[in-house]
A and B are shown apart, each in its own frame.
Chain A
């Protein structure tokens, strides 16, 4: 493999920072949108359900795209260190996604499109209080996002297949089934982060493809309402696309964990047969767990319900046994440097585990009867997205800033950020979990008791969390400035 030149590295970093900064900027804006929603539910703001549901739609779509873009940027950079990647394709994918985001913004802010980011057929077309053009703008915007996503996934697939020798090489087939011969040959398997790229690429292409089928179907119906669609079919596609995309953001961000943890602990992390098999399992379970969104659709083919619960449970095993346990083995009695970067990454693992528990409980069908579409649902996914993926991304960003500036943040800054993000975060998230346990429905602009009181506490938690994130932002800017001075 050709060694990367300094120019190649600069170009790769530019792609990474473009993606990551855009993702984090959208995340920041969407965080304030989320706060506005909780304040409405607490009764501290009163702008009405039409605005609430438009903001809810924006928040959902915006957040998923934000964390996806940020994770995509980090993973793209890591894979560009493995094989030369055409940054033109990365920028095209980025541009398509940004155009899509603009479409979504126009539809929501200009038209008050409020069908939620799940746009569950036939809701975008029935009983609407927004103009028809806003539906079109949203759907076409999502289509652009899907095309950009598919382009990125195809490039990732090309990278792993070309670099590691087809599907067999990318899967480390020989390492798993012919270990002695493989090791004797002196060949090296793909590094751990390449498995994240493979899974994101394959499941991502599947997500993009089926997302396009749904998107085009909805656009067809928008333009020609006489074309009816099967609602169960649409629901399956909606949740396959939505679940898989959200789930894949975690696995893309995990690539950063695989690289950052060894650096911080000054230990090695290599691909083993166990790691390879864990990612094969992840490849399958990410795509099949989505059935857990349709547990309460009793008309669904019964076998799918069983598959949904089984896949949801089994998806926890590779995470717990390989990634989390592997990270613990790296940290245990190591020379770990505890900086903001490493704290974010480690805390992200905690967020992922805790959110995962919430998910596993909700994915248990007898419990789902009591939790489905209550606030438990946003409780669990906010936990592993906000206190998982976002922290992984922040950890990666701070690791790069710390390396460039050759410095770490003062203890007081680490404490303030920690209290903000974890203290505030815990209060914010408990609001969801307790409300959900008490049967308070999700997506209610006006909640029954004890929703408003818990929303009030959650809003306080969200404000504290935002303060913590703001301190982290300021510290990040400071480290960047130190780094610039050091390298110029």
Chain B
């Protein structure tokens, strides 16, 4: 399963649970009403726990996500081989091929407006991306583990032919 569909599954489960809770609470209005004071008594206790659980979940999620941040370190920039990518309305200047199973750096920039350098693997799954900005170079570190033809699409609205702006390169 791709990361995108994994996220979708998580989203649908979380969304479904939230809807279920909201509907369940709404349905309690069919039962005999309780005085607000008695609801508040238990409700505030539960709220303290809800705050602790949510707060902990946020901290844990944040900490867990950090090792997967895509920002290359100085050592990676020095050690890995660099390939220049230049985006312009409406095409990419790309290397013809890049090596398999080797960490590399794409040095991505733009000649004109902001573009997006979006890499799709041979099965059509979006595997990585970075912005292509004028006057700046973004360094994208990737390692391709599947050989084949990779498609590049522009992922930042850049003008009338934005949807047709694509290129490809070989991983071998």
CB distance from A365 to the nearest CB of B (A): 5
Most chain A CB atoms below 10 A, which of B134, B135, B138, B160: B160
Cα distance A53–B164 in the bound complex, in angstroms:
14
A230 touches B135 (CB 8 A): yes
Cα distance A241–B161 in the bound complex, in angstroms:
27
Provide a sorted-by-A list of 9 A–B residue pairs whose CB atoms are within 8 angstroms.
A122-B113, A123-B159, A333-B39, A350-B18, A365-B65, A365-B68, A376-B7, A441-B154, A446-B163
- Which residues of chain A come closer than 8 Å to B34, judged between CB atoms? 332-334
- Which residues of chain B come closer than 8 Å to A224, judged between CB atoms? none
- Which residues of chain A come closer than 8 Å to B10, judged between CB atoms? 361
- Choose one: B4, B29, B65; the contact of A334 (CB below 8 Å): B29
Q: Which of A199-256 contact B (CB under 8 A)?
A: 230-232, 235
CB distance from A374 to the nearest CB of B (A): 7
B163 touches A373 (CB 8 A): no
Known: A366-B68, A439-B120, A441-B118. A297 touches B131 (CB 8 A): yes
- Which residues of chain B come closer than 8 Å to A434, judged between CB atoms? 8
Chain A residues with CB under 8 Å of chain B are 49-50, 53, 114, 116, 118, 120, 122-123, 126-129, 230-232, 235, 267-268, 274, 296-299, 302, 305-306, 309-310, 313-314, 316-317, 320-321, 325, 328-329, 331-336, 338, 346, 349-350, 353-354, 357-358, 361, 364-367, 369-374, 376, 433-434, 436-439, 441-448
Most chain A CB atoms below 10 A, which of B47, B137, B157, B159: B157
> B1-39: contact bitstring with A at CB < 8 Å (1 yes, 0 no)?
011110110110011001101100110110111101001
- Which residues of chain A come closer than 8 Å to B118, judged between CB atoms? 373, 439, 441
- Which residues of chain B come closer than 8 Å to A317, judged between CB atoms? 51, 54-55, 58
Known: A50-B160, A447-B163. A120 touches B114 (CB 8 A): yes
Confirm or deny: B98 has a beta carbon within 8 angstroms of a beta carbon on chain A.
Answer: no
A231 touches B136 (CB 8 A): yes
- Which residues of chain A come closer than 8 Å to B72, judged between CB atoms? 298
A321 touches B62 (CB 8 A): no
CB distance from B106 to the nearest CB of A (A): 11
CB distance from A439 to the nearest CB of B (A): 3
Q: A373-B156, A439-B126 are in contact. List 12 more A-B contacts (CB 8 A).
A: A49-B160, A127-B159, A320-B50, A329-B39, A331-B25, A353-B15, A357-B15, A367-B3, A370-B7, A370-B126, A374-B4, A436-B8
Q: Which of B113-130 contact A (CB under 8 A)?
A: 113-114, 116, 118, 120, 124-130
- Choose one: B19, B125, B162; the contact of A350 (CB below 8 Å): B19
> B91-124: contact bitstring with A at CB < 8 Å (1 yes, 0 no)?
0000000000000000000001110101010001
- Which residues of chain A come closer than 8 Å to B22, judged between CB atoms? 328, 346, 349-350, 353
Cα distance A157–B114 in the bound complex, in angstroms:
37
The 6 closest A-B pairs by CB, nearest first: A439-B126, A366-B68, A437-B8, A437-B4, A444-B163, A443-B157
A235 touches B7 (CB 8 A): no
- Which residues of chain B come closer than 8 Å to A321, judged between CB atoms? 47, 50-51, 54
Cα distance A50–B131 in the bound complex, in angstroms:
24
Range, interface on chain B: 35 or more
- Choose one: A120, A309, A320, A437; the contact of B7 (CB below 8 Å): A437
A369 touches B65 (CB 8 A): no
Q: Which residue of B lies closest to A349 (CB)?
A: B22
- Which residues of chain A come closer than 8 Å to B128, judged between CB atoms? 369
Chain B residues with CB under 8 Å of chain A are 2-5, 7-8, 10-11, 14-15, 18-19, 21-22, 25-26, 28-29, 31-34, 36, 39-40, 43, 47, 50-51, 54-55, 58, 61-62, 65-66, 68-72, 89, 112-114, 116, 118, 120, 124-131, 133-140, 153-164
Known: A123-B114, A441-B118. A369 touches B43 (CB 8 A): no
Q: Which residue of A lies closest to B3 (CB)?
A: A370
- Which residues of chain A come closer than 8 Å to B156, judged between CB atoms? 120, 373
Known: A350-B18, A350-B22, A443-B162. A296 touches B69 (CB 8 A): no
Cα distance A442–B118 in the bound complex, in angstroms:
12
CB distance from A335 to the nearest CB of B (A): 5
CB distance from A45 to the nearest CB of B (A): 15
CB distance from B153 to the nearest CB of A (A): 6
A298 touches B71 (CB 8 A): yes
Cα distance A120–B4 in the bound complex, in angstroms:
26
- Which residues of chain B come closer than 8 Å to A313, judged between CB atoms? 58, 61-62
A231 touches B134 (CB 8 A): yes
Cα distance A419–B34 in the bound complex, in angstroms:
31
- Which residues of chain A come closer than 8 Å to B162, judged between CB atoms? 49, 53, 443-445
CB distance from B19 to the nearest CB of A (A): 6
- Choose one: B29, B58, B140, B153; the contact of A441 (CB below 8 Å): B153
B62 touches A309 (CB 8 A): yes
Cα distance A331–B30 in the bound complex, in angstroms:
11
- Which residues of chain A come closer than 8 Å to B130, judged between CB atoms? 296, 298
B8 touches A372 (CB 8 A): no
- Which residues of chain B come closer than 8 Å to A361, judged between CB atoms? 7, 10-11
- Choose one: A235, A314, A372; the contact of B114 (CB below 8 Å): A235
CB distance from B128 to the nearest CB of A (A): 6
CB distance from A413 to the nearest CB of B (A): 19
Cα distance A301–B148 in the bound complex, in angstroms:
35
